[in-house]
Amino acid sequence: MPRPIEALIHTEALAHNLGRARAQAPNARVWAVVKANAYGHGIERAYPGLRAADGFALLDLAEAERLRALDWRGPILLLEGVFEPRDLELCSRLKLWHAVHCEQQIDWLAMHKTHEPHRVFLKLNSGMNRLGFAPAAFRAAYARLDALPQVDEIGLMTHFSDADAPRLGADGIAHQLAAFEAAAEGLAGERTVANSAATLRHAARTANDWVRAGIMSYGGVPDFPEHDAAHWDLKPAMTLRSKIIGVQPLQPGDTVGYGSAFTAERAMRIGIVACGYADGYPRHAPTGTPVLVDGARTRTLGRVSMDMLAVDLGELPASGFGSEVTLWGEGPRGARLPIDEVAHAAGTIGYELMCAVAPRVPMRSDGNA
């Protein structure tokens, strides 16, 4: 008998969330961003729910190959472009579109031998200072690409640092959008600037030819806790669930787990859940992190250990050994625990939790698209 923990991927939720990106940006095409193995959901498991996308965006060439192996014939965009010259051969063979963010990538293209001219997206560093050409170098880079026989179409892209919330003393996306519009003015090509946060919060200004829907496709909220999944009408694409494998009655003064980080003030019952940080549950989740037992909301107690964590059964007399525990996602009887709430309690973001589910957790799709 394997441990009772498992992760379920909800095909219908993925399709619903992708539809939300479309509804926000009805005149744009939608990239489903499936980097990091579809944000931990698994490319193959997520694909049935996301196949209505206009394209898939990711970073890893091996992941692009997996999408082609699923028989996806449409656009695939490498968001960071190629990492070495021979990657361009795979781009030619698999018809991958790729970002071009630095001079080296143009040098490599210029030396690349291909009968299949490439479609590229030239990336502007509009202020995030991660990847991309500086505004002053953007037009020269465009002209270089435009002169290459290896390139047939050039799109234009940038990425926002603060689409989820205005930074104190700054203006959110306005300065980056202005930099992009100035740099792109008069240049032919499709535009893409919006991530999930921009698609949800600033679609009127940012939904151009393509939007790049990452976290929202999985039902995660980029601007939690200002807004939650219900506000944006997003559904969890992943449920992490397990069972109670032990019950302990506590007397006042009894403590729970390593470091005795929780002390009972009164007599109570606790449940021990087969889920720990080696499953990807955040070790930093403190006492009080929300969790569902038999669909009812309760809290974690004490430190998360490698394979187990403790939950409060004080208000749940009918629950105990064998009860179903929802760490995040969809619980029994319509109960739901957004991953964002768990992440927030643990001082991180839903993105990190969904990407971190450990390989030892069996993961499967519920498969009804």
Ligand X SMILES: *Cc1c(COP(=O)(O)O)cnc(C)c1O
Interaction site with ligand X (CB under 6 A): 33, 35, 79, 159, 195-197, 212-215, 222
Return the SS3 of 242. Answer: strand
Q: What is the largest CA-CA distance in the chain?
A: 77
> Cβ 173 to ligand X, closest distance in Å?
13
Shortest Å, Cβ 195 to ligand X:
4
User: Is residue 26 classed as helix, strand or coil in its secondary structure?
Assistant: coil
Nearer to ligand X, 160 or 277 (CB): 160
- The binding site for substrate consists of 130, 306
Active site residue 35: yes
| From 95, 123, 235, 258, the catalytic residue | 258
Contact 53, 248 (CB under 8 A): no
State in angstroms the smallest separation of the CB of 340 from ligand X: 13
Query: Is-contact 197 160, C-beta < 8 A?
Result: yes
Helices 87-94 & 61-69 angle (0-180, nearest 10): 20
Q: In b/e form, how buried is each residue of 13-34, taking b as 16+ CB within 10 angstroms?
A: bbbbbbebbbebbeebbbbbbb
Give the whole-angstrom CA distance, residue 345 versus residue 7. 20
Q: How far is the CB of 208 from ligand X (least distance, A)?
A: 13
- Toward ligand X, which CB reaches closer, 7 or 215? 215
Smallest distance, Å, CB 302 to ligand X? 32
The token duo for 126 is 């509009």
In whole angstroms, give the CA distance from residue 80 to residue 58. 8
Minimum CB distance to ligand X smaller for 159 or for 202: 159
- Catalytic hit among 35, 123, 235, 243: 35
The sign one gets for the Cα dihedral 88, 89, 92, 95 is: negative
Examine the residue annotation and report whether 95 is marked as an active-site residue of this protein.
Answer: no
Q: Which of 60, 99, 53, 81 has its CA nearest to residue 193?
A: 99
Annotated binding site: 130, 306
Residue 24 vs residues 18, 52, 96, 161, 233: alpha-carbon distances, Å:
10, 16, 26, 20, 11
Task: Report the relative pairing of strands 97-100 and 118-123 from DSSP bridges.
Answer: parallel
Q: Which residue is nearest to ligand X (CB)?
A: 214
Coil, helix or strand at residue 319 = coil
Cβ 197 to ligand X shortest distance, Å: 6
**Cβ closest to ligand X, residue 195 vs residue 239:** 195
Please name the residues in contact with 17: beta carbons below 8 A apart, sequence gap of 6 or more.
Answer: 213, 216, 217, 218, 219, 234, 235, 237
Give the residue with the Cβ less far from ligand X, 214 or 302: 214
The residue count of the chain comes to: 369
Between CA 145 and CA 135 the distance in angstroms is 16
Q: For residues 124 and 304, which CB has a smaller minimum distance to ligand X in the complex?
A: 124
- The residues that are catalytic are 35, 258
